[in-house]
Chains A and B, each alone.
Chain A
Amino acid sequence: MNLNFNFPDFEVIRDEKKCNKCKLCVLECSNKVHSYDDKKNVLNVDNLKCVNCHRCVVICPLKALIIKKYPLEFKKSANWTPLAIKEIYKQSQTGGVLLSSMTNSNNFPIYWDKMLLNASQVTNPSIDPLREPMETKVMIGRKPKKLEFNSKGKLVTEIPPQVELNIPIMFSAMSYGAISKNTHEALARASSELGICYNTGEGGLNRDLYKYGKNTIVQVASGRFGVHKGYLNAGVAIEIKIGQGAKPGIGGHLPGKKVGEDVSSTRMIPVGSDAISPAPHHDIYSIEDLRQLIFSLKEVTDYKKPVFVKIAAVHNVPAIASGIVRAGADAIVVDGFRGGTGAAPTRVRDNVGIPIEFALATIDQRLREEGLRNQASLLVSGTIRNSADIVKAIALGADAVCIGSAALVALGCHMCQSCTTGKCNWGIATQEPELVKRLNPDIMYKRLVNLILAWNYEIQEMLGGMGINAIDSLRGNRLMLRGIDLNEKELEILGINYVGQ
């Protein structure tokens, strides 16, 4: 007997009165939930296959479809939840590691929502961004300790290369392979129009996208896919990826079925081969090894590109960050445990790492205590959901933020958290040509531009409300924050006062 204890997560309900059997749902669903029985002239659904990506619901011209949580009740237990039981069914069936995509789904506190912002009243005026200049440009890179001028008052210090961002937002690293070429192109074009940067992730850079180099950050991860001299010089900065918030301490695995001709040539690996990124870089077993890689990359790019180092937010992250600055990194990118991923072991995604808010607060403070904060930029990610999160992150001490999930949502991601299947109906996390072409970069890049501009307006409004007209004056300005529903220890670590104080 091959009894499978599986049961559906979702139920697809078709309103037969509205449905005119156009069969678009059958065509559109890559998971093959919908099927048409032409003998009986009925549309059937296989609930077991539904991942709740909303594609059929959105595409249905008559809005005849609804997806609901499958109404299967277990006997109530706070301990043995349906999910906990289902995971055991799955693992006892397959003997495998549980895999998940996107963000940590457990109910951990979101500290952005426990911080409130300040505004001016009477004693100083708020500034109206519609009438006055309101600056959001930031310069990312290493800064010298001081500038020197000659006797004629001319600057003699040559400052290291900087990445200029018109808006303190970048698109997080997402590799070609994990996401589609069209998604990359949309991110690249939006960055170019906005004067910000996107990040190639670890899968190399498709030759068609080299023209967006001024808005590109190229990544070097443990698999070194697609890394060559031309690639390293293609962008404005290089990021060494040590870790990722969704899976600290874990490498990556791109299944061979996603490695088609184009991914193969971009990554410089054979067609159909699995692309395995080891957990550590095999040339970095210690901080001094990181220094060597940083300077190898600087050598190959003639010291013209800043080198960033990306790490996951883990328990002793302030000391690690300090070491990274001392090792010569020009910027640190810290990814919190709510950060997204194409695939991660579920247990790691949900249980390893710390919230970005705490990592950021402690790193900023530690670098200041060591007199290093002004030397390297600090970028944070995982998860930034809106412009208020960004304002709070900068007030805690970040130079800028990186957004991954939010950008994908702008492109149509419905957070079904099923990227691992490679069947993304929205054309994002897939390499299947029929699905990839659903995301038209000519149209979709504008959604990214809209989102970032909208957020920038909101950032400017909040800055003006605080009586600030340059984002420089918000960075590390923790007096602009107050905590709510936090205990004394949390306030102490975040370095903020309680509301009413």
Chain B
Amino acid sequence: MLKEGEIRIPSGCAISGIIDIKGDRFSGQEIVKSIALMHERSNGLGGGFAAYGIYPQYKDLYALHIFYDNLEIKMKTEGFLSEHFDIESAGNIPTTPVPGVINKPLIWRYFVHPRTYMVKEDFIDEAEFTSRCVIRINKDYNGAYVFSSGKNMGTFKGVGYPEDIGKFFMLETYDAYMWTAHGRFPTNTPGWWGGAHPFTMLNWSVVHNGEISSYDANRRFVEMFGYNCTLQTDTEVITYLFDLLVRKHEMPIEKAIKVVVAPFWDDIDRESKEMQRELKAMRAVYSSALINGPFSIILGYEKGMIALNDRIKLRPLVVARKDSRMYVASEESAIRIICSSPDKVWSPKGGEPIIALLEEGTQK
């Protein structure tokens, strides 16, 4: 059977996310409890978490989380790593045995800094250098897969139910100001750990429920800008879209959102002349970046999270607020299980983004 990346596999899902906008950190217990409630939305073939603010002691270094199929590819990949990065610290990611989580790969973590002279030689910045290295490993080092590459954040994922994956990685031992989670219901899968979600690139992480019908249009668009979609998954291409728009094209995040869930032409016609000009230009230039088909996603980055539905809300997404905490999930129950009396609960409209960012000055 072909593994993810060799074939495109549709999947349904559960998603959940929590942020403390004051930047206070809390353990992974709550997010595990929330995603566990939506057990029925997963089928045991993939679960994962992204956590922001977990590595304050290494906050200026890129934290690379890597799956290896065997020791041989690990040695080969480490050769590449030490050639391109100063490795501050390396070790395996602590895990504990959990029934139902089997066939685990070698799971390693490296805190690294790009080799300055190499970055300068290529006339690029550290982020671009690191992302190119990640893309290269994932494309050319068969059996090695970088599944997390941000600063002061990390992804933990695998094949199994998400609550089991949470236990496996002992997420109760990590403190983060923001957590997102994903439970997966693929229609078929070879059970490859790299294929679980969240998908990440640098500080971006995406958890996603849906099957985007614009996939190949989006893929062929981002590939024009040097990305390589090795996984053939929606989350991968969504992550690259945001990376392209916000990091490479330096577009404000709220504009990037208006690109991927563009307002309808009829709505644009009702805007002021000035706004029409802007929105028309965005739709014209970035028409291939429009994400189509059913989806609800939670996009995480260092500043916070953005929850987003497709333009006509074909997948569920509920939001709640309690004090400095914002919650988003596929189902309201998944919020109420960890926050029984929120100040406000609502269901955002299709295409209406929920932007929950850290307050000014609290950025970690």
- Give complex CA distance A476, B255 in Å: 24
Q: Is B292 part of the contact surface with A, judged by Cβ < 8 Å?
A: yes
A146 within 8 A of B: yes
User: Is B312 a contact partner of A139 (Cβ separation < 8 A)?
Assistant: no
Q: Contacts A124-B210, A155-B277, A368-B220 known; A467 to B283 CB distance under 8 Å?
A: no
Tell me whether B312 and A468 are in contact (CB under 8 A): no
- In the complex the two chains form, what is the Cα distance from A159 to B279 in whole Å? 12
Segment 185-209 of B: residues with Cβ below 8 Å from A? 187
Instruction: Identify A146's interface contact among B221, B249, B264, CB under 8 A.
Output: B249
Residues of B near A371 (CB, < 8 A) are 224-225
Assess A467 versus B213: contact at CB under 8 Å? Given A162-B284, A472-B287: yes
* Set of chain B residues within 8 Å of A108, measured between Cβ atoms: none
- Contact string against B for A residues 456-477, beta-carbon threshold 8 Å, 1 for contact and 0 otherwise: 0000000000111110111111
On whether A477 and B215 interact (CB within 8 A), knowing A123-B10, A125-B314, A132-B312, the answer reads yes
- For the complex, what is the distance from the CA of A148 to the CA of B217, rounded to whole Å? 23
Contact between chains at B224 and A143 (CB < 8 Å): no
**Which parts of A147-191 form the interface with B (CB within 8 Å)?**
147-149, 153-155, 157, 159, 162
Bound-state CA distance A247–B265 (Å) is 39
A148 proximity list for chain B (CB < 8 A)? 250
B213 touches A124 (CB 8 A): yes
Q: Which of A127, A138, A468, A477 has most chain B Cβ within 10 Å?
A: A477
* Contact residues in A for B250 (Cβ distance below 8 Å): 148-149
Query: How far is the CB of A125 from the nearest CB of chain B, in Å?
Result: 6
- Tell yes or no: A478 within 8 A of B by CB: yes
| Chain B: minimal CB distance from A501 (Å) | 9
How many A residues have CB within 8 A of the partner chain? 42
- In contact, B265 and A149 (Cβ under 8 angstroms): no
Interface string of B248-268 (1 = CB under 8 A from A): 111110110000001011100
CA distance A470 to B225 in the complex (A): 23
Q: Mark B34-73, 1 if CB is under 8 A from A, else 0.
A: 0000000000000000000000000000000000000000
Cα distance A141–B215 in the bound complex, in angstroms: 24
CB distance from B214 to the nearest CB of A (A): 3
Closest A residue, CB atoms, query B226? A371
**In the bound complex, do residue B217 and residue A157 qualify as a contact, i.e. CB atoms below 8 Å apart?**
no
Distance in angstroms between the alpha carbons of A466 and B294 in the assembled complex: 11
| Complex contacts, B286 vs chain A, CB 8 Å | 147
CB < 8 Å neighbour of B312 from A127, A155, A159, A473: A127
A window 68-119: CB within 8 A of B: none
Q: Which residues from B are CB-within-8-Å of A154?
A: 278
Shortest CB distance A409–B (Å): 30
Q: Residue-by-residue, is B1-28 near A (CB-CB < 8 Å gives 1, otherwise 0)?
A: 0000000101110000000000000000
CA distance A369 to B227 in the complex (A): 12
Assembled-state Cα–Cα distance A468/B312 (Å): 11
A454 interface residue, CB < 8 Å from B?
no
Shortest C-beta distance, A383 to chain B (Å), equals: 25
Question: When the two chains form their complex, are residues A147 and B264 in contact, meaning their CB atoms are under 8 A apart?
Answer: no
* Inter-chain contacts of A58 with B (CB < 8 A): none
Cβ-based interface call for B124 (8 A): no
Contact check, A480 vs B216: say whether CB atoms are below 8 A apart: yes
A137 surroundings in chain B (CB, below 8 A): 265
A133 within 8 Å of B (CB atoms): yes
**Interface presence of A389 (CB below 8 A):** no
With both beta carbons as reference points, the residue of chain B lying nearest to A397 in the complex is identified as: B220
CA distance in complex: A480, B214 (Å) = 9
Chain B positions 224-262 with a Cβ under 8 Å from a chain A Cβ: 224-225, 248-252, 254-255, 262
B280 within 8 A of A: yes
- A138 to B, closest residue via Cβ: B287
Given A123-B10, A473-B290, the answer on whether A468 and B213 have CB atoms closer than 8 Å is yes
Interface residues of A in 325-377 (CB under 8 A from B): 368, 371, 373-374
Q: Is the CB of B217 within 8 A of A475?
A: yes
Taking a contact as CB atoms under 8 Å apart, the answer to whether B287 and A477 are in contact is no
Is A262 interfacial (CB 8 A cutoff)? no
* A451 sits at the interface (CB 8 A): no
In the complex, B288 has a CB within 8 A of chain A: yes
Judge whether A479 is part of the interface by a CB distance below 8 angstroms: yes
Tell me, yes or no, whether A135 is within 8 Å of chain B by CB.
yes
A153→B256 CA distance, assembly (Å)? 11
When C-beta atoms are compared, the residue in chain A nearest to B290 turns out to be A472
CB neighbours (8 Å) of A479 from chain B are: 8, 215-216
- Tell me, yes or no, whether A120 is within 8 Å of chain B by CB: yes
Q: Is A270 an interface residue (CB 8 A)?
A: no
A397 to chain B, nearest CB (A): 8
Whether the Cβ atoms of B224 and A374 lie closer than 8 Å is: yes
- A230 in contact (CB, < 8 A): no
Q: Using Cβ atoms and an 8 Å threshold, which residues of chain B touch A135?
A: 264-265
**B84 within 8 A of partner (CB):** no
Q: Quick check: is A8 within 8 A (CB to CB) of the other chain?
A: no
Say if the beta carbon of A144 comes within 8 Å of chain B: yes
* Given known contacts A123-B12, A139-B284, A477-B215, A469 and B278 CB-to-CB distance under 8 angstroms: no
Say yes or no: A474 contacts B285, CB within 8 Å. no
Q: Is B119 an interface residue (CB 8 A)?
A: no
Contacts of B213 in A (CB 8 A): 120, 124, 466-468, 473, 477
Kindly state the separation between the CA atoms of A146 and B286 in the bound complex, as whole angstroms. 8
User: Which chain B residues border A162 with CB–CB below 8 Å?
Assistant: 280, 284
CA of A467 to CA of B213, assembled, Å: 6
Known A125-B294, A467-B293: A159·B255 in contact at CB below 8 Å: no
Residue in B264, B288, B290, B292 whose beta carbon sits within 8 Å of that of A467 in the complex:
B292
- CB-defined interface of B272-301 with A at 8 Å, one 1/0 digit per residue? 000001101111111110111110000000
| Closest residue on chain A to residue B275 by CB atoms | A155
Q: Which residues of A contact B288 (CB under 8 A)?
A: 374, 472, 475-476
Hey, which chain B residues are within 8 Å of A139, CB to CB? 280, 283-284, 287
Alpha-carbon gap, A477 to B288, bound state (A): 9
Contact A146 B285 (CB under 8 A): yes
The chain B residue sitting closest to A371, CB to CB, is B224
Are B217 and A476 neighbours in the complex by a CB distance under 8 Å? yes
Contact between B187 and A123, CB atoms less than 8 A apart: yes
Contact A133 B266 (CB under 8 A): yes
C-alpha gap A371/B248 in the complex (Å): 15
The reply to whether A477 and B217 contact each other, CB–CB distance below 8 Å, is yes
In the bound complex, what is the Cα–Cα distance between A154 and B278 (angstroms)? Answer: 8
Q: How far is the CA of A157 from the CA of B262 in the complex (A)?
A: 18
Output the nearest chain B residue to A151 by Cβ-Cβ distance: B252
Min CB–CB distance A325 → chain B (angstroms): 13
Q: Given A153-B255, A467-B292, verify A159-B281 contact (CB < 8 Å).
A: yes
A270 to B31, CA, bound (A): 83
Q: Are A478 and B255 closer than 8 Å at their CB atoms?
A: no
Residues of B297-354 at the interface with A, using a CB-CB cut-off of 8 Å, are: 311-312, 314
State in angstroms the CA–CA spacing of A473 and B212 once bound together.
10
Q: Which residues of B contact A475 (CB under 8 A)?
A: 217, 287-288
Alpha-carbon gap, A148 to B10, bound state (A): 35
Q: What 0/1 readout, one digit per residue, does chain A (200-214) give for beta carbons within 8 Å of chain B?
A: 000000000000000
Smallest Cβ distance from B100 to chain A, in angstroms?
Answer: 25
- Contacts beyond the supplied A374-B288, A477-B217: 8 A-B pairs with Cβ under 8 Å: A120-B213, A146-B248, A146-B251, A153-B254, A153-B255, A159-B285, A162-B280, A479-B215
**Top 9 closest A-B pairs, CB basis?**
A473-B214, A473-B292, A467-B213, A479-B216, A472-B287, A139-B284, A123-B10, A124-B211, A477-B217
22 A-B contacts (beta carbon < 8 Å): A123-B11, A123-B12, A133-B311, A133-B312, A144-B285, A146-B249, A146-B251, A147-B249, A149-B255, A155-B281, A159-B284, A162-B280, A371-B225, A467-B211, A470-B292, A472-B287, A473-B214, A473-B291, A476-B220, A477-B216, A478-B216, A479-B216
Taking beta carbons and an 8 Å cutoff, which residues of B are in contact with A?
8, 10-12, 187, 210-211, 213-218, 220-221, 223-225, 248-252, 254-255, 262, 264-266, 277-278, 280-288, 290-294, 311-312, 314
